[in-house]
Structure 1
């Protein structure tokens, strides 16, 4: 696809100030108005708005700068270069695999484009339980609308691929509604490889929208540069210390950079943002940093059909059902959203259970395999406190996320719901992704198997691509790391602008929630710092 315009290469040729890695040496000191850690959803929105306000911005990204010419629809290239820990980041007990971006644009570069506003009941819970009185659905609507316009978020008008259509078919036969998912795309080619970076620049990620706008406005981008620690004194951050890293995030040993700024924005994503505050010894009088980190734990059901499904072909996620969220009290037993994830060989083979002949037989069925995932809404019940981010001996983060009986009860119910839908859609066989499960050929057989399964960590395959919390915002410092305006309760010139702000999970794919919240926080931060009124283009 060499004929596709590459806005990143064009920007570099125009003279963007990009340093680090292959882009040239970095100075040992830098000064600016605002230093931003990360380049994903919250960081990208913030960088564009603050640059538009006339502020000198430096963006620090641990991962590499890749562009459409590098996105060749190959898992073997994409996962090591674009994801945290080669798409194999795991919780402390290795029971949950976490997909999280590690590149310029962060997870927005590699996500599947699903765009949902923060659910109204989630916002209401935050208002009543965390003192976020201003976060009503009406108050947030203009911020979501601004982000949606900027990022071309709208309905997907093409027909769903077969993987998604089977979700609708099975759900409809059971009287369960399934609706369309909005996507942040423009001129999409319907290739299906969103998780490996968009080779046509159709996905309106931070990589091709807000970051180019910020760089055109004079921002500086440091790549392959890890924010190691914040230096603070007397309630103010004095400097950000960064170290250069190689392609696999190991420190190179080369001289680091000390960045001084008037204001600092941490937007490295949940897990990495709390880890930075922990490494920095930032004030944490109530022991909240890194606690209540949420994942939307996901379990998967695989089904085999007589006709090809070709789950890799076409837009990856275009239909969903919230039936099992809306029929469950928010603070009751854990509810779950159902979606149909894309299927690619490496992720398929490494996620499904089994080995040897059993795995070979399952791989032979790959073109006829359909999958559903259940995204569990954690954080609303006392038995769903999420996990905790801690530091390993080398300072790298690790998330401890206990899969307790409360969560596993939701996983069992989700397996049942997905199997019933798949059989209703005409599946020949269904298998929950669990080490001790085998294919079943009827709904009755599937139900008996699922009800008898031992729902334990490591036996039940659990994955997640949504990481939230760990630096929660709240109306009081006893409940939150940051204030409702995103500013750290104890450090006056430090803000957090990413998914780590969420006091609970949200019960939906989180990118638009981050976009809308960051638009609000960054617009107001720009006003405080400069007096300027700015909006997203």
Structure 2
């Protein structure tokens, strides 16, 4: 059910692929153990065990995650998406469980039998006993590595199980859990037009024989070196990345009569390409398929990887840089831009271009919960400005806005760039910056002459070399530093000072018959309400977008039956999260390998916010609340006293210790990555100067979230775009 696009089928609409049956790169004994664990996580239950006579729920109770192709998909995600250390932990667990001695070590007497050979491998043990074995892993601290391996598998298994779709774009569990994907079948002619079509070359549609012709047809100066298998493009400016930074920079520089080429690693999806399907969308529109943890596994990171970058998949929040942050950046970090009228005007221009509205007409269920809970507690709650109309009620903008209402860079700034002659090349990953010795008597020892890229297509062998007077890295705080470091730049600030705006979530269940709040958790504008406490508090409260797969991956596991019962509550479970302006920081020196260290104040602030989130959920009328702590901690609200609530809140924690030292833990989330190539007044204080230019290489600029001096504390889209707007204006006057 692929949607035709040019010479090749576009894969976004389908999760039913031939690769489901391919070898998942685990040996047969490991696959046997993995399958038996998947069955424990989501086991087949007797038809009446979930206490519902609804046919879809009866069917759901009998489904198992051990059924094909779930284990194969889990294995493939593990091997292809997880970092090396995580894969090794999981494979160690699988190896142990595939042998009798290993199973005896981690299962004890539950693996013993009265028949030869008296000790069973994990897969040979009955399902009830297997479940008890896994439950024991959560009770003994010396089994933490085994428990961690199980949690990795559980997260992947449940994500796959609840997000995979068949040839009809459906999942057999969705009706039971109250989930429905809304797909508009017909589009108007205007909607069918792809906004960037006249200026984009999509590598997914090209071959070695067609690429040069396609580039020339877009008006580019192209030469081909057959001996080295390189296609060279000459232009004024090459921009690596098309998100909030790169998209704005492309528009400003193209409008300044510069010949601009934008390289984007991801593919191009327009309104009619979007499917609203969680699995395929995460796989193809997010960095590492939406599965990108820090190296210690404590923070799960989401970042856009498509034309439009994060702006194509974010939650539409358009919050201007807080005045306190502007003062901090201007006074403490001495970046003069942030105290100028120029920056204020840039924020206004950005908001105007992306069509920001101040208040939506109708709020979705989760935002109703946050608003009503805050109001009942006497807490302030603000409307969140959106880069969409007041009527915007799309709950799936995190998979691309199928309504076409949200205005990301792919439908605004990049359109402006293309209208002024810019060319975008999608499916093309920057490999190395072209740095040469600066022989023009300049202070800087190097000069950047462009970038070498490789194309992400198995059908092609050629590389692209883009020669440019100015090179701008705008591939985000996670990928700009690795590109600069791998190209030979040495400034010690490159890759450091990474901020993540870490979040922890609380949940509340609102039975439909007992609540005055209408709707389902996945409906309506994703983020339209915001609670900002007093000046002394360093957290904010917001609500997330969680498809059923993501919801399941976060949900604590206590038993197979309990997990299925939790999933039946999916559509009426609201989440509220606590987000902090973090003072801790991390580093990213190579792609996909992210270290992060919490500051003590961050864990304290996030815990305060998490407790307040629970109070808000209770005040809104939740019948039960809890956290995502791995021990499944929860609290029944009906008939409880204020003292009971506070007693429960005393158990809520935000630990900052290695996962190997605790029996229960929370997985933090991050959707904002900031500051890993920050601006500074000197090369000792920053990776680039206050114009965004590298201290080491003339003609090399950075124009994305990585240049921000510290965490913002709120959704950063407007801050990134306004900063890019100002930096691009300065760059335009340099040549």
Equivalences for residues 263-412 of structure 1 within 5 A:
263-284=470-491, 287-307=492-512, 309-323=519-533, 326-328=535-537, 335-354=538-557, 356-379=560-583, 384=584, 386-391=585-590, 396-403=591-598, 405-412=600-607
Q: Answer yes or no: is the 8 Å Cα contact 1:109–1:197 preserved in 2.
A: yes
* Alignment of structure 1 residues 63-462 onto 2, 5 Å: 63-136=266-339, 138-186=341-389, 189-234=392-437, 235-246=446-457, 254-284=461-491, 287-307=492-512, 309-323=519-533, 326-328=535-537, 335-354=538-557, 356-379=560-583, 384=584, 386-391=585-590, 396-403=591-598, 405-442=600-637, 444-453=643-652, 455-456=654-655, 459-462=665-668
Aligned pair in 2 of structure 1 residues 279, 366: CA closer, same or farther (>3 Å)?
A: same
Deviations 1:60-84 (A, max 9, x none): 1001111112112111221101001
| Match in the other structure for 2:254 | 51
- The change in CA–CA distance for 1:478 and 1:437 in structure 2 (over 3 A counts) is same
Superposed displacement of residue 219, structure 1: 1.3
- Calculate the TM-score normalised by the size of structure 1: 0.90
Number of aligned residue pairs: 506
Distance 1:213 1:5, change over 3 A: farther
Deviation of 1:162 (Å): 2.4
Distance in 2, matches of 1:479 and 1:431, equals 42
Aligned-partner Cα distance in 1 for 2:243–2:643: 45
- The equivalent residue for 1:331 is none
Partner residue, 1:534: none
Q: CA deviation at 1:342?
A: 2.9
Q: Distance in 1 between matches of 2:290 and 2:188?
A: 27
What is the CA–CA distance in structure 2 between the aligned matches of 1:454 and 1:510, rounded to whole Å?
27
Post-superposition CA distance 1:440-493 (Å, at most 9, x none): 024644543443356336511211111101000122221111111111122220
Correspondence 1:21 to 2:185: no
C-alpha separation in 1, matches of 2:403 and 2:289? 23
SS at match of 1:469: coil
359-368 vs 58-67, greater mean Cα deviation: 359-368
| Distance 1:46-1:160 versus aligned 2 partners, 3 A rule | same
Deviations 1:196-251 (A, max 9, x none): 101122110011111122122221211111111112123211231101124xxxx8
Deviation at 1:161, TM superposition (A): 1.7
Provide the C-alpha distance between the structure 2 equivalents of 1:522 and 1:409, rounded to a whole number of angstroms: 38
Given the superposition, is the C-alpha separation of residues 23 and 253 from structure 1 closer, same or farther in structure 2, using an over 3 Å criterion? closer
Task: From the superposition, tell whether residues 33 and 158 of structure 1 become closer, same or farther in structure 2 (CA, over 3 Å).
Answer: same
Say whether the 8 Å CA contact 1:416–1:447 is kept in structure 2: no
Residue matched to 1:521: 727
CA–CA distance in structure 2, aligned partners of residues 122 and 388 of structure 1: 22
Residues 1:297 and 1:114: Cα distance change in structure 2 (over 3 Å): same
Q: Does the CA contact (< 8 Å) of 1:163 and 1:370 recur in 2?
A: yes
**Between 356-365 and 131-140, the greater mean CA deviation after superposition:** 131-140
Gaps of 5+ in 1: 329-334, 530-537
The 2-side partners of 1:444 and 1:254 are apart by 67
Deviates more, 1:466-475 or 1:481-490: 481-490
Name the SS of the counterpart of 2:272 in structure 1: helix
- Which consecutive unaligned segments of at least 5 residues does structure 2 have? 1-183, 213-230, 438-445, 513-517, 660-664
Q: Which moved more, 1:420-429 or 1:312-321?
A: 420-429
What is the CA-CA distance between 1:309 and the residue it aligns to? 4.7
Maintained 8 Å contact 2:360/2:391: no
Query: Partners of 1:446 and 1:227 in 2: how far apart?
Result: 52
Task: Please tell me whether residue 497 in structure 1 is matched to residue 703 in structure 2.
Answer: yes
Deviation at 1:410, TM superposition (A): 2.4
Q: Does 1:476 align with 2:698?
A: no
Partners of 2:286 and 2:304 within 8 A in 1: yes
Instruction: Kindly provide the CA deviation profile for residues 397-439 of structure 1, in whole angstroms up to 9, marking residues without a partner as x.
Output: 3210124544322232222111111111111111011112422
Q: Does the 8 Å CA contact 1:271/1:398 hold for their aligned counterparts?
A: no
**3-state SS, counterpart of residue 486 of structure 1:** coil
Check whether the contact 2:607–2:653 (CA below 8 A) recurs between aligned residues.
Answer: no
- Distance in structure 2 (CA, Å) of the matches to 1:174 and 1:455: 23
Distance 1:448 1:437, change over 3 A: farther
Q: 1:499 to 1:191 in 2, by over 3 A?
A: same
**Structure 1 consecutive aligned stretches of length 4 or more whose deviation exceeds 6 Å:** none
Aligned partners of 2:429 and 2:453 also within 8 Å = yes
CA RMSD of superposed structures (Å): 2.0
Report the CA distance shift for 1:7/1:281 in structure 2 as closer, same or farther (over 3 A). Answer: farther
Moved more, 257-266 or 347-356: 347-356
Distance 1:121 1:8 in 2: 44
> Are the counterparts in 1 of residues 330 and 337 from structure 2 also a CA contact under 8 Å?
yes
What does the per-residue CA deviation read over 1:102-126, in whole Å, with 9 as the maximum and x for residues that have no partner? 1000010000100111111111111
Q: Partner of 2:701: helix, strand, or coil? A: strand
For 1:6 and 1:43, the matched residues in 2 are separated by 26
The answer to whether the 8 A contact 1:436-1:453 is kept is no
Give yes or no for contact 2:192–2:272 (8 Å, CA) kept in 1: no
- Residue in structure 1 matched with residue 144 of structure 2 by the alignment: none
Task: Determine helix, strand or coil for the equivalent of 2:505.
Answer: strand
Deviation at 1:17, TM superposition (A): 4.3
Secondary structure of the residue aligned to 1:73 is: coil
CA distance in structure 2 between the partners assigned to 1:212 and 1:454 by the alignment: 46
Larger Rg: 2
8 Å Cα contact 2:579-2:606 kept in structure 1:
no
Higher helix share: 2
Could you say which residue in structure 2 is the equivalent of 1:535?
A: none
CA distance in 1, matches of 2:236, 2:207: 23
Aligned in 2, Cα 1:160/1:421: closer, same or farther, shift over 3 Å? same
